[in-house]
């Protein structure tokens, strides 16, 4: 009886009695959710266009952030005195690197493996993960680095708002992350629905064969989606690293973002966003209000359980296409 009270009543009483704390938790959940959503977005872009479950998305985030910081250090050493100039030059060069990565992946990994079963392509992205880890550590070293937030004009500091008789802190960087993420999603949405390449992408997502038969180049499309998700990875890397620092531990967050995928559906961009927010908020609320009951640290698996509960009712995820199977 006492346990039931603790599980079903006590957390809500706590929420009601300290609404400012609840609001703070919700806000942090939303911010975490935005970042999960961004990683999931990278996954979805590639899965939609090529049917590849890209396990390397997490390490791509790390690799992009490392490249940015590494290039910035290189440029300042070479003698670019203006920090802002160096930072934005590094940003531009990183974009070029991500384009190179996309082309290399298409040429060396995807094209030779065309028409293989999904699991083989999945394992190939595992191999890619190892290659990127090795490459990143060889070139940039394994030690954590500080993200160049000031040089990129990313705001620091926080607002303390007085709400419900308490203080709720909004970090500027979190607000910036939310704004940039929504801008990027909006941009992608426009790109997908209005441009010629975007329509070609959707055609490829619907059917490879039909798209080929109307003259769409699969190779070109694959380079574009890998480049697009490389850009998403770069933005994710900057935002995430601005809150902590750039290190290989970041790739763990990619594993945290996987439940977002099954929750939202592998093929749905809105699913990735909504799923990310649900998981982010659910995780923070669960950890804060129910975590102490179980001894804490439940963040590592709570997201998976939230996703599993949803899956029991909708096996294809919230927004996924209905799975139709024929014998």
Partner 1 sequence: MLYREAGQFKTNYFADQAVFPIRQDRIGVAIILLLAFVAIPLYGSNFLLQAVVIPFLIYSLASIGLNLLTGYTGLLSLGTGAFMGVGAYACYKLTSLFPGVNILIWMICSGFVAAAVGVVFGLPSLRIKGFYLAIATLAAQFFLQWCFVRIPWLVNYNVSNAIEVPQRMLGDIVITGPNASLHTRYFTVLIIVVAMTWIASNIVHGRIGRMWMAVRDQDIAAELMGIRLLRTKLLAFAVSSFYCGVAGAMLVFLWYGGAEAETFNINQSFFVLFMVIIGGLGSLLGSYLGAALIFGLPILLRLLPDALGVPMHSATIEHMSFLIVGGLIIIFLIVEPHGLARLWQITKQKLRVWPFPY
Binding site for partner 1 (CB under 8 A): 53, 108-109, 112-113, 116-120, 122-124, 126-135, 137-138, 142, 255, 258-259, 261-262, 266, 294-298, 300-301, 304-305, 307-308, 311-312, 315-317, 323, 325, 327
Output 134 or 187, the one with its CB closest to partner 1: 134
Angle at 140 between CA 136 and CA 142, to 5 degrees: 75
Q: Tell me how crowded residue 220 is: count the other CB atoms within 10 A of its CB.
A: 12
Output 16 or 117, the one with its CB closest to partner 1: 117
Output 27 or 319, the one with its CB closest to partner 1: 319
The C-alpha atoms of residue 90 and residue 70 are separated, in whole angstroms, by: 8
Min. distance of Cβ 101 from partner 1 in angstroms? 14
Min. distance of Cβ 234 from partner 1 in angstroms? 21
Min. distance of Cβ 120 from partner 1 in angstroms? 5
Helix, strand, coil in percent for the chain, rounding step 5: 75, 5, 20
Output 78 or 327, the one with its CB closest to partner 1: 327
* Cα dist from 284 to 191, 243, 298, whole Å: 33, 16, 10
The C-alpha atoms of residue 54 and residue 47 are separated, in whole angstroms, by: 7
Min. distance of Cβ 293 from partner 1 in angstroms? 12
The C-alpha atoms of residue 259 and residue 308 are separated, in whole angstroms, by: 8
Output 154 or 223, the one with its CB closest to partner 1: 223
Closest CA to 142 of 75, 57, 237, 70: 70
Min. distance of Cβ 273 from partner 1 in angstroms? 18
Instruction: Mention every residue, 6+ apart, whose C-beta is less than 8 A from residue 26.
Output: 281, 284, 285
Output 130 or 159, the one with its CB closest to partner 1: 130
Min. distance of Cβ 5 from partner 1 in angstroms? 22
């Amino acid at each position: 009886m006492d346990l039931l009270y603790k599980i079903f009543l006590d957390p809500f009483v706590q929420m009601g009695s300290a609404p400012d704390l609840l609001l703070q938790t919700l806000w942090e959940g939303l911010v975490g959710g935005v970042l999960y959503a961004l990683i999931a977005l990278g996954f979805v872009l590639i899965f939609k266009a090529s049917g590849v479950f890209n396990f390397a998305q997490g390490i791509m985030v790390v690799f992009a952030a490392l490249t940015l910081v590494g290039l910035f250090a290189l440029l300042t050493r070479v003698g670019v005195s203006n920090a802002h100039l160096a930072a934005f030059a590094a940003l531009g060069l990183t974009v070029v690197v991500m384009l190179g990565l996309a082309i290399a992946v298409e040429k060396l990994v995807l094209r030779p493996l065309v028409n293989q079963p999904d699991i083989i392509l999945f394992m190939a992205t595992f191999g890619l993960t190892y290659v990127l880890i090795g490459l990143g550590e060889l070139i940039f070293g394994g030690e954590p680095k500080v993200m160049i937030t000031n040089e990129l004009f990313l705001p620091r500091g926080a607002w303390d708002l007085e709400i419900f008789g308490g203080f709720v802190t909004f970090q500027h960087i979190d607000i910036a992350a939310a704004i940039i993420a929504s801008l990027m999603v909006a941009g992608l949405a426009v790109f997908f629905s209005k441009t010629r390449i975007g329509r070609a992408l959707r055609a490829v997502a619907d059917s490879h064969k039909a798209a080929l038969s109307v003259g769409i180049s699969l190779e070109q499309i694959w380079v574009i989606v890998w480049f697009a998700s490389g850009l998403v990875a770069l933005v994710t890397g900057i935002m995430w690293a601005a809150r902590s620092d750039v290190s290989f531990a970041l790739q763990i967050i990619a594993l945290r973002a996987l439940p977002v995928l099954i929750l939202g559906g592998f093929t749905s961009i809105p699913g990735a966003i909504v799923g990310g927010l649900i998981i982010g908020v659910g995780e923070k609320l669960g950890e804060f209000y129910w975590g102490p009951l179980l001894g804490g640290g439940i963040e590592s698996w709570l997201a998976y359980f939230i996703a599993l509960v949803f899956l029991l009712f909708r096996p294809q995820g919230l927004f996924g296409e209905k799975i139709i199977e024929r014998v």
